[in-house]
Structure formats: structure tokens, C-alpha cells
């Protein structure tokens, strides 16, 4: 299989080279056959990428431990379902996966590109082929997944235990796929610029492909957060880890892009700006590849690090030069058709929102590189981690959420005082009511109250639009549900966007809840003992263990009781006096108002081959709050050391996922070429012409 | 009260750059101020402060993790130390200083850079980025409003040029016919599923 | 075995990219023309779709009159260009029948809002 894989990779590299050269030479010398042939070469790279990937997968399935990559990332007892995960669990495999994803997406994009773009297509193809060429080149010369071992091991090392989770079937491929997918809109924009096709022809293609990349990347990050929450066992879901940050940054820029591209589509403005945004997103995606695959910074994701840094860094710098060189060259041609008319217009709101997204991106980037600066300037290492990003980015993110409510309420061009009053009155009233109610309920933290107020404002603004649109259609005779559906269907990009906005609000609720109101405690329990926190009692009922060749697993059986604090008044006041929010009970006899609500099985596994522990937390999740029990360690005296947290509103984090995907799909769902718009047949035209209606 | 917000009453005509900018800037500053304002330590129980500190100290042996989330033995002992120091009545900053002085990592033991001097840069730059960004956005809008942008030469934009206007006229007429100037009823016939009949298919 | 498969793959790939230089030229051109015309037609229908989207936006007050006019005109021009390309030098002409043309435009003036085509026909 190794031979076949290497041959396929070499072919792929030759084909991408041919595709670049053929496209450019074909266009410059006016040889259509060469251009067509170069385009076909790019389709063929997809075939070779498939063959190479197939060869690697076949090697995994047949346990060919002569191949180093296979020996290091799988073993013969591994569940066959994990072959897919093992495929990209290391550097070489993930690069192969990236080539596969890129070549599939390139082929699809070229196939579906509108004919109008014919003039710029050769250049688009050349750009795509250059990027493919780079990855083939790296695969062949620096990180070949088909490298052979001199001594064939009896058994492989096995798969990284942290990766054996359902989320891993989709999280890494989605992130890598999303990052590399940014190449597609970038290639279309670049192609249009190089060929001098300055019109807005590329806008639709770039918008659709950018939303695809954005949706995949966003969903991938969300799944990653879910994976972290359920398996990494640190009680959080987003650590502002460098790898997470480099995926987040291009996503933020893409978010800005898919908003401002609507301004170009609708108003013919922001041409330069949109190209610049795509350039930034592409360069950031390359930065992501550099940090992800080149491994210059430490992170929890660095299981796939390598010495490729300098190559990826060079490619990133090259793309930076190319993107902005092209941009500067063509800048004079990218003027707006129209002038901005008012600050109180949707395009102005979009511009402000754009800069806020870029601000989060910039602050995040600053946080990522600050340690390097500190090293250089003072020769002192510092860490920049979650507390920094929470504080520095939190307020800007809140500002973005606020703009999410303001922007859609403003009309294009300019707004009259009347329409402002009409549209802003209700959302503001509702936001104020929410704030007043929260204050009345005794919620103390000003920032949390403010955040909830903003969320309420945005939710109300979306509901207001849906309400008014639906009522209008209902009046004209539709049933309520149908009226709403027709409203959404009438302008899918817009209402899909609203659904995504709603999902972001749900995410926001989860973030506010877990960030500001999380309660945590820890302790060690012997069998039969209980830990009481808030109004939960967690009783350690039983434990069990099993030993398998690859791991030693232990798990605990715990019962969760809802308690009445009055029953425990003395213990609670005693604990308070010691500055604790929780306390341990040696005697777990049930008190009158204890009510069993759930059973959880926190699980702890140790993998000797990897010297690595993996935990699965016991989670009782409700719409209001999660009770989250991390088994830190099974102590030798039979006790279990646990960390417990109560995460308010955490459920909403994961509930937002389906809405995010749904909204993205609604926004993207292709509208049939013509719908409701009568395109007349020859016959109808004749009928019309002869008055025979 | 809600609709008595100044910017709504003023209305767009009276709205020059200033009210909008002031409004936005003050909102953002308010958000920043509230968000970065610390919670007073004495409002919290010792345990809450302990967990706060856990998430501000890095685990020396882990990759980019705080001791809060780490199961490593050293993280465990650091947590115990934090608790011990808190019980001794130390303040948060004293405890952090303790770790900075004692651990081989020095300042890198803190999850976020602290103190004055160069580290202040870490915190100041975000302000500049944010307000600089908003400032640029507002200036851009103002400039776009003032500039006399090209008039909409739509036909000349893109690929078409003015010379073939006449040639295009008859196709335009065809397009307008296709677009069905009289609306809707024929809609059902050209449904989405069936490709709508090509008007040139017969020739 | 692997070598043989790899050689087969190489042969296939080379054949595919070499095909535009060889092959039966007439067949190739004819089918190419057909495919292109189909693509152009679908694209034109999509432009129509966009025009109808614009009309929806306009009707819902989301788009001002002048923006609506200028953008629709832009799209109409795009559609006309596509149509021209579709009809091409060797493609079928559309309603070249002059009489029919005139009749249609007369018909149109009678049965519709004539304002929107006014500025274009001059």
C-alpha cells in the first residue's frame, strides 16, 4: 500500500504543478485546450488524493505495521471504527486529509462555478492548484504518511486515548476542512482580481463558499467544545488555547465577511474591504496550519506537532505577500458604486460590526503573540491564557451581540426617526423589563445583568421581525405556521441568519451562566460518604474497575439527591464558618426531604502505553444547570477524589448547535433558479404577443 | 422611558458624527468598565476565592492548562498550597506573588500577565485595537458619506462596455419579457422541480 | 500489484488531461457548446431569481426605490448579456422575427407597468 500511496502523491504533485503552469501559460498564450487540460488536471488531483487516502486507510485496516504512521497510530485490537480517527490523528495523516478535503472542494467549486466567471477561472484554478501543490510537496518531502520502518513491530502503539470519543469523528476533520475551505472563496476573489474581472460576479460564489467554510468551522469548534466538556475533564469547554484561537480568528474574520458581502451584494459598496477580509481570513487560516501543524506554541492539542514550522511559516508569509500585493495592485479598481448616506443605516452597522469582529481577532492574536514579545523584549516568559482572553475579549463580544440586535433593525441607506422608534421601542422595553426583573430578583453582578439585558434586546428584535412579518402574511390568509414559513422562505439568507443569531444568543446564555455563576468545590469521598453543595447531595455508592491490555479503567457509582438546605442547617453554617461552600458527610442516611434525582458514573481510565489519563465526567444536565462531577483520582485508600461544579445554563451551549447548523443550512439552501417568477415558454410569449391570454 | 433614548429623539437628520460616535463609544466604555471591574474579594467565600485563584495559575507540567483543570500531582499540591495560604489570611495578590517568587517558571506561572511595565502593554493594546477599530469604522462612514462616489454606471461596470449597448437592447427586451411583467399566475407551471422550458428550444 | 494499480492510475490521469488536445474535435466542440448553453441558461434563470428577490426586498421596504432600480437594471443587463452569449454566433437566434418583436413590445406596453423598461430601451 505504501508504494501505491507514494505514487499517488507524486502524481498529485505533478498534476497540481501542471495545473498551475497550464492555466497561466494557457491564458497568456491563448491556448484554450491547455486551459481546459489544466482544469482537468485539478479534477485529477482529487482522484490521486482519494487513492492516497484509500491506500492509507487500507493500510490501517490491514494493520500494516511496516508503515511507521500506521504503527504509531493504531494497533490490532483497536476498534475498526477508529480507523477514520487514526487516519488524521497524526501530523502526516492530517496533512493528507487536508489535501483530500481541499481537492474535493476545489473540484466542486470549479464544477459549480458560474459560466460568467469563465474569464477569471484559469486564475482561480491556478491559485487553488498552488495551495494544493504546497500540501502535496510537504506530504512528499517532509511528512510522508507512507514512511516505512526498518524493523517491523509486532504490534502498533495504538490510538491516542483522548481521541476515542464520538466528537473526534467530526471535530478535527471539520476544523481542518473549515480552515482549508477558506482557500475557495479566496481563490475566486484572487482569480477575479488577477484577471481584471472587477464586477461583482465573484460575490455569490465567494459568499456561498465562505458561508460553507464558516459553518463547518463554527460547528467544528462547537463540537470541540462539547468534546472538551465531556471528556477532557477540566470542567470547561473553551480554554483560549492557542490552537483554539487560531481556528477562532479566521472564523471571526469570515463572520465579518459574510455580513459585509451582503452590503456589496445589495449596495455595491465595500468592494475593497471584502477582498481584504478574505485575504486576512486566508492568511489566518495558513497561520492556523502553521501553529497547528508546525507546533511553535504549546497547547493541549500538540499531539501532532512536528518540525515543519519553518515551511508552514514561509508559506504563510508568501500567502500574505501574494494576497496583499494583489490587493494593492488592484485597489484602484475596487471603488464603491455608492456613497454611505447615514450612520443610522444597516451598512454602517455592518461596518461597525466588522471592525468589532476584527478587534476580537486582533486582541486574540495579540494574546497569542504577546509571550513571544515578552521573551524578546524582557527575556521573561509569561503565560497568556483564559483569564486574559475572557477579560479582554468579553466586552467586545458583548458589543458584537449588541450590534447583532441593532444592525438588522436598521434599514439600508438611512433610517427615519419614525422607523427607528417603530423598530427599537419594543426590544428596548423588553430589555429594560428583563434588567429590572433581574435586579428585583437580587442578581448582583452588573456585567451579568447587562449581558442578559443585551441578549433579551437581541432576542426581542428577532422575534419582533418574525412577529410582524408573520402577522402581515397571516392577515393575507395564511395559517400562522405557514405564514412564518413563507416569511423565512421568502428571504432565506436573511432569516437563516436570524436563526444563527438565535443560536448565538443561546450560546451567549451558556457563556454568561457558566462564566459568572459557576460554583465549584472539590473533595475526597470514601464509600458511603456524601458531598453536599448548594442543594445537591452526591453520595459515593459503589465503585468498579476493569483492566484491559491498553487501559486500566475505574468508575464510580454516585447517587445525586436534591436536598432541602433546612435539613442540613447546622452543617451548612459550620462549613460557612470555615469559608467553604460545600461539606463532606460521613453518614449518608437520608434526611426527610432528600429526593433521589439521578445516578451518575464518573469514569477514569489510565493508558500505560501513553502514560495518559482520560476521564469521563458524570454530568446531570438540565435546562437550568448542570451538575458536573470530575473523577480526579481513585486514591489508594479506596477514596475517590472528585471536583464538582455546578454550571448554570450549560445546557444552552449544546442546544445552540443544532440551531447554528439549521440556520446556516437555511441561509445556504439553494433557491431554485426560478420560483414564482414566470419564465414564459415560446408558446406563452406568442400567446402574450397575439393577445391570446 | 425606553423610546426616550436621545439618539432616537434626535433623529437622523440632526445626527452628525458626534452623537453616534459618543453613543457607541460610551456604550463600549461602559461595557468595558463594568466588565473589567473586579469583584471585591470580601464578597466571596474562601472556597470561591480558591477556585478563582486556581484558574489564574498555570499548571507547570501541562500544556497550556491552569491548575484548576489539571489532574497532575503538582497541580493537586499547588491547589492545596493555595488553600493553605488562604486559610492563613493571605490576599489573592499575595498568593500569586508567592507562586511567582517560588516557582521556577516565574511570571509564567500566572495565567495572565500582571503588573506594570511591559506587561501593561498586554492590557492596553486591546483598548487601542477596539477603540481604534470603532474609530476607523466611524471615520470611514463619514468619509464615505462625504465622498462623491462614482455614479452608478452599472452597464459599464463589469464586463459590458457602452459600445454594445444597442446590440444588447434586443436581448434586454427578451429579458423583460421573460421576467413576466404581469405577475404570478403562470408560476405553478414553471415550478422548481421541472426545468422551466427553454424559450429557444424550438429553433 | 500496487505498482500495476499505480501505473493504471497514472495512465488514466494522463489520458484525461491529454484529451482536450486530442479526441474527436467536432464531437467535443458540439457537446461542449451544448453543455455551455445549458449552464448559461441555468445561470440566467438564477439572475431572474435574484431580480425577484430584489422585488421582494423592495416590496418589504428593505430596499429604497433608487437602489432597487439601479440593482435591478444591473441584473437585467447581466441577464441580457448571458442571453446574448447563449444565443451566440452559432447558437440559435431568439425571436429574430421582427414582426413578432414589435407585436410583443406593443402587447407589453398595453398589459404592464411600462416604466421599468423605459430607461433601457433608449
pLDDT at A221 over 90: yes
On whether the CB atoms of residues A26 and A40 are closer than 8 A, the answer is: no
Q: Is B124 helix (H, G, I), strand (E, B) or coil?
A: helix
Angle (CA) A455-A456-A460 rounded to 5° is 120
On whether both B53 and B100 belong to a single domain, the answer is yes
The stretch A112-129 carries a mean pLDDT of 87
Closest of A603, A640, A601, A613 to residue A551, by C-alpha: A613
Tell me the residue range of the domain where B27 lies: 8-36
Q: How many domains does chain B have?
A: 2
Instruction: Give domain status of residue B192, yes or no.
Output: no
**Residues of B whose CB is below 8 A from C103:** none
The stretch A54-71 carries a mean pLDDT of 90
pLDDT at A610 over 80: no
pLDDT band at C26, cuts 50/70/90?
A: low
Q: Kindly report the length of chain C.
A: 122
- Answer with the one of B76, B109, B142 that is the final residue of a domain: B109
pLDDT at A486 over 60: yes
Position A214 scores a pLDDT of 95
On whether both B99 and B60 belong to a single domain, the answer is yes
C52 inside 8 A of chain A by CB: yes
- The answer to whether B145 contacts A339, with C-beta atoms less than 8 Å apart, is yes
pLDDT at A54 over 90: yes
Position B150 scores a pLDDT of 41
C2 inside 8 A of chain A by CB: yes
**Residues of A whose CB is below 8 A from B39:** 445
A369 inside 8 A of chain B by CB: no
On whether the CB atoms of residues A375 and A381 are closer than 8 A, the answer is: yes
**Residues of B whose CB is below 8 A from C105:** 173
The stretch C91-120 carries a mean pLDDT of 47
> DSSP letters along A385-431, please?
-HHHHHHHHHHHHHHHHHHHHHHHHSPSS---HHHHHHHHHHHHHHH
- The answer to whether A491 contacts C46, with C-beta atoms less than 8 Å apart, is no
The stretch A79-90 carries a mean pLDDT of 85
On whether both B77 and B51 belong to a single domain, the answer is yes
**Residues of C whose CB is below 8 A from A691:** 107
Closest of B40, B123, B51 to residue B83, by C-alpha: B51
The stretch A638-667 carries a mean pLDDT of 92
Of all residues in chain A, the one with the smallest CA distance to C39 is: A115
Kindly report the three-state secondary structure assignment for every residue of A573-611: HHHHHCCCCEEEECCCCCCCCCEEEEEECCEEEEECCCC
Per-residue pLDDT of chain B (203 residues; tens, 9 = 90+): 333 333 333 334 444 445 555 666 666 666 656 555 545 555 678 888 888 888 889 888 877 788 887 777 888 889 889 988 988 888 888 898 899 888 888 888 888 888 777 888 888 899 899 888 888 888 887 777 765 444 333 333 443 444 455 577 777 777 777 776 433 333 333 333 333 333 333 32
> How big is the A-C interface in CB pairs under 8 Å?
121
Position A106 scores a pLDDT of 95
Interface of A with B in 278-307 (CB under 8 A): 297-300, 302
pLDDT above 70 covers a percentage of chain A that reads 93
A589 inside 8 A of chain B by CB: no
Position B136 scores a pLDDT of 85
- Summarised one tens digit per residue, pLDDT across range A410-441 is 887 777 777 788 888 889 999 999 999 988 88
pLDDT at A679 over 80: no
DSSP class of residue B61? T
Distant-in-sequence, close-in-space partners of B6: CB < 8 Å, separation ≥ 6 = B19, B23
CA–CA separation, C82 and A177 (whole Å): 34
pLDDT at A456 over 60: yes
CA–CA separation, B75 and B67 (whole Å): 5
Alpha helices in A290-337 (DSSP H): 309-330
On whether both B46 and B102 belong to a single domain, the answer is yes
CA–CA separation, A417 and B201 (whole Å): 53
**Is the torsion defined by CA of A25, A31, A32, A33 positive or negative?**
negative
On whether both B19 and B67 belong to a single domain, the answer is no
CA–CA separation, A560 and B151 (whole Å): 70
pLDDT at C101 over 60: no
Position C61 scores a pLDDT of 66
Binding partners of C (≥3 Cβ pairs within 8 A):
A, B
C112 inside 8 A of chain B by CB: yes
CA–CA separation, B79 and B86 (whole Å): 11
Interface of A with C in 477-506 (CB under 8 A): 490-491
- The answer to whether B169 contacts C120, with C-beta atoms less than 8 Å apart, is yes
- The answer to whether C71 contacts A268, with C-beta atoms less than 8 Å apart, is yes
Position A89 scores a pLDDT of 84
Between B125 and A232, whose confidence is greater?
Answer: B125
Position B29 scores a pLDDT of 66
Phi-psi region at A20: left, alpha or beta (left = phi > 0; alpha = psi -120 to 50): alpha
Distant-in-sequence, close-in-space partners of A440: CB < 8 Å, separation ≥ 6 = none
What distance in Å separates residue A149's CA from the closest CA in chain B? 30
**Residues of A whose CB is below 8 A from C112:** none
**Is residue A682 classed exposed, middle or buried when 0-12, 13-18 and 19+ CB atoms within 10 A define those classes?**
middle
The stretch A163-176 carries a mean pLDDT of 83
- Summarised one tens digit per residue, pLDDT across range A555-595 is 899 999 999 888 888 888 888 888 888 888 888 788 888 88
On whether the CB atoms of residues A243 and A188 are closer than 8 A, the answer is: no
CA–CA separation, A351 and A1 (whole Å): 53
Residue A76 burial (CB count, 10 A): 10
Which of A175-189, A233-247, C99-113 comes out lowest in average pLDDT? C99-113
What distance in Å separates residue A240's CA from the closest CA in chain B? 9
Alpha helices in A444-522 (DSSP H): 446-475, 480-490, 492-517
- The answer to whether B171 contacts C84, with C-beta atoms less than 8 Å apart, is yes
On whether both B25 and B46 belong to a single domain, the answer is no
Q: Kindly report the length of chain A.
A: 693
Closest of A167, A57, A55, A53 to residue A99, by C-alpha: A53
Position B186 scores a pLDDT of 33
Distant-in-sequence, close-in-space partners of A197: CB < 8 Å, separation ≥ 6 = A117, A119, A120, A191, B158, B159
**The domain spanning residue B101 has which CATH number?**
1.10.8.640
Position A500 scores a pLDDT of 96
pLDDT at A406 over 60: yes
pLDDT at A299 over 90: no
- Summarised one tens digit per residue, pLDDT across range B142-187 is 777 765 444 333 333 443 444 455 577 777 777 777 776 433 333 3
> DSSP letters along A25-71, please?
HHHHHT-HHHHHHHHHHHHHHHHHHHHHHHHHHHHHHTT-TTBHHHH
ipTM: 0.77
Of all residues in chain A, the one with the smallest CA distance to B114 is: A382
CA–CA separation, A124 and A38 (whole Å): 12
**Residues of B whose CB is below 8 A from A366:** 122, 125-126, 129
pLDDT at A691 over 70: no
Among A371, A446, A675, the residue with its CB nearest the CB of B34 is A446
Between A594 and C38, whose confidence is greater?
Answer: A594
pLDDT above 70 covers a percentage of chain C that reads 58
In order of A47, A104, A284, the CA distances from A97 in angstroms are: 13, 11, 19
**Residues of A whose CB is below 8 A from B120:** none
CA B115 to centroid of chain Cα atoms: 26
Among C2, C49, C51, the residue with its CB nearest the CB of A671 is C49
Strand order, beta sheet including A625-634:
A519-525, A640-648, A625-634, A618-621
- The answer to whether B187 contacts A402, with C-beta atoms less than 8 Å apart, is no
Counting Cα atoms < 13 Å in the Cβ hemisphere of B159 gives: 22
Closest of A34, A107, A26 to residue C19, by C-alpha: A34
Tell me the domain boundaries of chain C. 24-87
Distant-in-sequence, close-in-space partners of A80: CB < 8 Å, separation ≥ 6 = A61
**Residues of A whose CB is below 8 A from B5:** 424, 428
Amino acid at each position: 500500500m505504501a508504494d501505491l500511496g507514494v505514487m499517488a502523491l507524486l502524481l498529485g504533485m505533478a498534476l497540481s504543478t501542471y495545473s498551475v503552469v497550464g492555466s497561466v501559460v494557457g491564458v497568456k498564450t491563448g491556448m484554450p485546450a491547455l486551459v481546459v487540460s489544466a482544469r482537468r488536471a485539478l479534477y485529477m488531483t482529487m482522484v490521486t488524493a482519494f487513492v492516497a487516502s484509500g491506500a492509507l486507510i487500507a493500510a490501517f485496516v490491514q494493520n500494516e505495521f511496516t508503515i511507521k504512521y500506521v504503527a504509531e497510530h493504531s494497533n490490532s485490537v483497536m476498534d475498526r471504527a477508529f480507523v477514520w480517527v487514526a487516519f488524521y490523528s497524526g501530523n502526516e495523516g492530517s496533512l493528507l486529509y487536508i489535501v483530500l478535503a481541499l481537492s474535493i472542494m476545489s473540484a466542486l467549486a470549479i464544477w459549480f462555478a458560474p459560466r460568467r466567471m469563465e474569464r477569471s477561472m484559469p486564475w482561480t484554478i491556478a491559485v487553488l492548484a498552488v495551495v494544493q501543490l504546497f500540501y502535496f510537496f510537504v506530504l512528499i518531502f517532509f511528512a510522508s504518511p507512507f514512511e516505512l520502518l526498518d524493523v517491523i513491530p509486532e504490534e502498533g502503539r495504538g490510538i491516542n486515548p483522548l481521541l476515542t470519543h464520538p466528537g473526534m469523528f467530526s471535530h478535527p476533520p471539520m476544523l481542518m476542512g473549515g480552515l482549508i475551505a477558506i482557500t475557495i472563496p479566496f481563490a475566486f476573489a484572487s482569480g477575479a482580481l488577477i484577471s481584471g474581472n472587477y464586477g461583482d460576479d465573484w460575490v455569490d460564489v465567494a459568499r456561498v463558499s465562505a458561508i460553507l467554510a464558516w459553518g463547518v468551522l463554527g460547528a467544528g469548534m462547537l463540537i470541540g467544545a462539547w468534546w472538551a466538556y465531556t471528556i477532557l475533564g477540566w470542567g470547561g469547554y473553551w480554554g483560549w488555547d492557542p490552537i483554539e484561537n487560531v481556528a477562532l480568528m479566521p472564523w471571526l474574520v469570515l463572520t465579518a465577511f459574510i455580513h459585509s458581502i451582503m452590503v456589496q451584494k445589495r449596495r455595491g459598496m465595500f468592494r475593497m474591504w471584502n477582498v481584504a477580509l478574505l485575504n486576512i481570513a486566508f492568511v489566518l487560516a495558513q497561520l492556523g496550519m502553521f501553529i497547528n501543524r508546525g507546533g511553535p506554541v504549546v497547547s493541549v492539542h500538540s499531539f501532532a506537532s512536528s518540525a515543519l514550522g519553518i515551511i508552514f511559516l514561509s508559506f504563510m508569509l508568501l500567502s500574505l505577500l501574494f494576497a496583499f500585493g494583489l490587493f494593492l495592485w488592484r485597489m484602484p479598481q475596487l471603488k464603491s458604486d455608492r456613497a454611505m448616506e447615514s450612520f443610522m443605516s444597516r451598512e454602517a452597522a455592518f461596518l461597525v460590526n466588522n471592525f468589532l469582529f476584527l478587534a476580537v481577532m486582533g486582541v486574540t492574536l495579540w494574546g497569542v503573540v504577546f509571550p513571544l514579545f515578552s521573551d524578546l523584549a524582557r527575556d521573561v516568559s509569561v503565560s497568556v491564557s483564559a483569564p486574559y482572553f475572557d477579560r479582554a475579549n468579553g466586552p467586545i463580544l458583548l458589543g458584537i451581540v449588541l450590534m447583532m440586535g441593532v444592525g438588522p433593525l436598521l434599514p439600508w441607506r438611512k433610517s427615519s426617526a419614525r422607523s427607528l422608534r417603530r423598530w427599537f421601542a419594543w426590544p428596548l422595553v423588553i430589555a429594560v423589563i428583563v434588567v429590572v426583573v433581574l435586579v428585583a430578583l437580587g442578581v448582583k453582578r452588573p456585567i451579568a445583568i447587562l449581558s442578559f439585558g443585551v441578549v433579551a434586546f437581541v432576542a426581542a428584535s428577532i422575534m419582533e421581525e418574525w412577529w410582524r412579518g408573520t402577522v402581515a402574511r397571516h392577515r393575507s390568509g395564511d395559517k400562522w405556521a405557514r405564514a412564518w414559513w413563507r416569511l423565512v422562505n421568502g428571504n432565506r439568507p436573511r432569516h437563516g441568519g436570524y436563526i444563527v443569531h438565535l443560536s448565538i444568543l443561546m450560546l451567549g446564555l451558556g457563556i454568561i451562566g457558566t462564566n459568572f455563576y459557576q460554583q465549584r468545590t472539590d473533595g475526597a469521598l470514601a464509600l458511603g460518604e456524601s458531598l453536599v453543595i448548594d442543594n445537591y447531595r452526591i453520595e459515593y455508592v459503589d465503585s468498579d474497575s476493569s483492566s484491559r491490555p491498553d487501559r486500566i479503567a475505574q468508575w464510580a457509582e454516585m447517587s445525586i439527591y436534591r436536598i432541602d438546605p433546612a435539613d442540613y442547617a447546622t452543617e451548612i453554617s459550620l462549613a460557612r464558618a470555615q469559608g467553604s461552600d460545600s461539606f463532606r458527610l460521613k453518614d449518608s442516611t437520608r434526611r426527610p426531604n432528600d429526593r433521589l434525582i439521578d445516578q451518575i458514573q464518573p469514569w477514569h481510565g489510565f493508558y500505560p502505553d501513553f502514560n495518559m489519563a482520560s476521564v469521563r465526567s458524570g454530568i446531570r444536565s438540565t435546562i437550568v444547570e448542570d451538575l458536573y462531577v470530575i473523577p480526579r483520582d481513585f486514591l489508594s485508600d479506596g477514596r475517590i477524589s472528585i471536583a464538582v461544579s455546578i454550571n448554570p445554563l450549560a445546557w444552552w451551549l449544546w442546544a445552540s448547535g443544532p440551531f447554528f447548523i439549521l440556520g446556516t443550512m437555511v441561509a445556504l439552501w439553494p433557491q431554485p433558479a426560478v420560483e414564482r417568477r414566470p419564465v414564459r415558454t415560446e408558446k406563452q410569449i406568442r400567446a402574450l404577443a397575439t393577445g391570446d391570454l | 422611558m425606553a423610546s426616550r433614548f436621545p439618539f432616537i429623539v434626535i433623529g437622523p437628520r440632526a445626527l452628525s458624527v458626534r452623537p453616534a460616535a459618543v453613543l457607541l463609544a460610551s456604550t463600549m466604555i461602559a461595557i468595558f468598565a463594568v466588565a473589567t471591574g473586579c469583584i471585591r474579594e470580601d464578597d466571596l467565600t474562601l472556597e470561591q476565592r480558591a477556585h478563582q485563584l486556581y484558574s489564574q495559575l498555570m499548571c507547570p507540567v501541562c500544556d497550556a492548562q491552569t491548575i484548576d483543570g489539571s489532574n497532575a500531582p503538582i497541580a493537586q499540591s499547588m491547589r492545596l498550597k493555595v488553600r493553605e495560604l488562604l486559610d492563613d489570611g493571605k490576599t489573592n495578590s499575595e498568593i500569586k506573588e508567592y507562586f511567582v517568587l517560588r516557582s521556577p517558571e516565574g511570571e509564567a506561572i500566572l495565567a495572565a500577565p500582571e503588573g506594570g511595565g511591559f506587561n501593561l502593554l498586554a492590557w492596553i493594546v486591546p483598548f487601542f485595537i477596539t477603540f481604534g477599530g470603532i474609530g476607523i469604522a466611524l471615520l470611514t462612514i463619514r468619509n464615505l458619506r462625504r465622498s462623491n462616489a462614482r455614479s452608478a454606471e452599472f452597464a459599464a461596470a463589469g464586463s459590458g462596455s457602452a459600445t454594445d449597448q444597442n446590440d444588447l437592447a434586443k436581448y434586454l427586451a427578451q429579458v423583460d419579457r421573460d421576467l413576466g411583467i404581469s405577475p404570478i399566475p403562470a408560476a405553478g407551471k414553471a415550478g422548481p422541480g421541472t426545468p422551466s422550458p427553454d424559450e429557444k428550444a424550438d429553433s | 500489484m500496487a505498482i500495476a494499480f499505480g501505473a493504471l492510475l497514472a495512465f488514466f490521469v494522463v489520458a484525461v488531461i491529454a484529451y482536450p488536445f486530442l479526441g474527436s474535435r467536432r464531437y467535443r466542440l458540439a457537446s461542449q457548446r451544448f453543455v455551455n448553453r445549458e449552464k448559461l441558461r441555468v445561470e440566467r434563470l438564477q439572475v431572474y431569481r435574484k431580480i425577484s428577490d430584489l422585488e421582494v426586498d423592495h416590496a418589504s421596504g428593505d430596499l429604497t426605490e433608487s437602489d432597487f432600480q439601479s440593482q435591478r437594471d444591473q441584473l437585467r443587463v447581466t441577464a441580457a448579456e448571458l442571453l446574448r452569449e447563449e444565443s451566440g454566433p452559432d447558437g440559435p437566434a431568439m425571436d429574430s422575427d421582427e414582426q413578432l418583436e414589435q407585436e410583443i413590445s406593443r402587447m407589453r406596453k398595453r398589459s404592464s407597468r411600462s416604466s421599468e423598461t423605459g430607461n433601457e430601451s433608449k
